Chains A and B, each alone.
Chain A
Amino acid sequence: MSSALDEEASISIPSLAFVAVLGYFIYRYFFSSSPGSGTDGSQTFSSRSAGLRFTPAQVDQIAQMFPQLNRRDIMWDLHRNRGSVQATTERVLMGRGLDPAPPSFQPPISFMTTTTSSLPSSPLTLAASKPSPPDLITRYNLQSKVNSKGKEREEETPPPGWASSKEARQRMLQRRREEMILAARRKLEEKDAAGTPATAPPSTS
């Protein structure tokens, strides 16, 4: 009986050691694999998109050439022609258009946005590096009208209507645009003048 106990004890000590060693390795396995999860993640990502036969760069390339196309359709076409930008381009240029992607076609979300539209993640640096767009006065060449507007302020707004000649229509539209901008500027200036009577509104009487 005592020998049986001895035997039991002698078995359990090595087995305990074995379990401990095994446990250590299991622990190490999980522990050491967790810092590498970054690469793990990208592996699962690439394996998920491995079924796709194109790259986001190719999608962007076509989307830039043909901004009217739907990104999903571009991806679907690229997927079917194994990432041939040329084939897709030709297809569009031939006027055949792209087939709509079936609902079952689910490219990774990251493919859906252009590389340029991923910029909002760093809007501050972008705003700093990008020169701000020209103001409306510069954009529509209204400097002269801003300065000499006193006399023509009443007669500007063109009446709604349709002119028969292309040039007349174009002029009408342009006048409408200009008047919208100038009116907005005038209003803001008037508000400024009313709000702060001490400072005279700039450059106008």
Chain B
Amino acid sequence: MGSNVASKRLFQEYKSLLTNPVDGISAGPLNEDDLFIWEALIQGPEGTPYEGGIFPAELRFPRDYPLNPPKMKFLGEIWHPNVYTNGEVCISILHPPGDDPNHYESASERWSPIQSVEKILISVMSMLAEPNDESPANVEAAKMWRERRSDFEKKVREGVRRSLGL
């Protein structure tokens, strides 16, 4: 029954994303028979080294969605302080409520059922524009971002080109 609520909610979010698409974002279930696995494309924000890039990501929703947040994982290469080298995204909106024993994040930043896929993707877009190097997921990338910004940007741009087959 719980997953029935989740399916309904996911279907509704899918519908609203298709009817009112957000600029630079496309997202939907990989296959409508399983609404719990989505694929999203996120455009690199303008004015950042990610500009011009398209970043595919997978979202996996828990059966008790929207009580708990999905997990998000970039499928292609992406060099970013808040993305693990395996592609997993680490931002506060993807953290379940009450999950931060270190009190880095306030409850309002974390996941709650009033958030949505759209909000997650928009947060991820702004994460691309403004990395948070306080709790890096990719330490190497965070260090590069902090200390050698031009090298960092070059590496990101090269990744963008490679991902578009150029």
Contact = CB atoms under 8 A, between A and B. Distances in A.
Given A67-B71, A68-B61, A119 B164 contact: no
Nearest to A175: B26
Interface stretch (A35-43, A48-56, A74-82, A185-193): A185-193
A21 interface: no
Contacts, number: 119
A160 B22 CA distance: 10
Contact of A116 (B43, B63, B86): B86
B62 to A, nearest CB: 3
A139 interface: yes
Contacts of B39: 177
Interface stretch (A2-10, A12-20, A162-170): A162-170
B107 interface: no
A137 B166 CA distance: 10
Q: Most A CB atoms within 10 A — which of B2, B54, B98?
A: B54
B41 A180 contact: yes
B163 interface: yes
B54 A70 contact: no
A136 B164 contact: yes
Interface of A: 67-70, 72, 95, 97, 100, 103, 106, 116-117, 119-121, 123-124, 126-127, 132-133, 135-139, 146, 160-162, 166, 169-170, 172-173, 176-177, 180-181, 184-185, 187-189, 191-192, 202
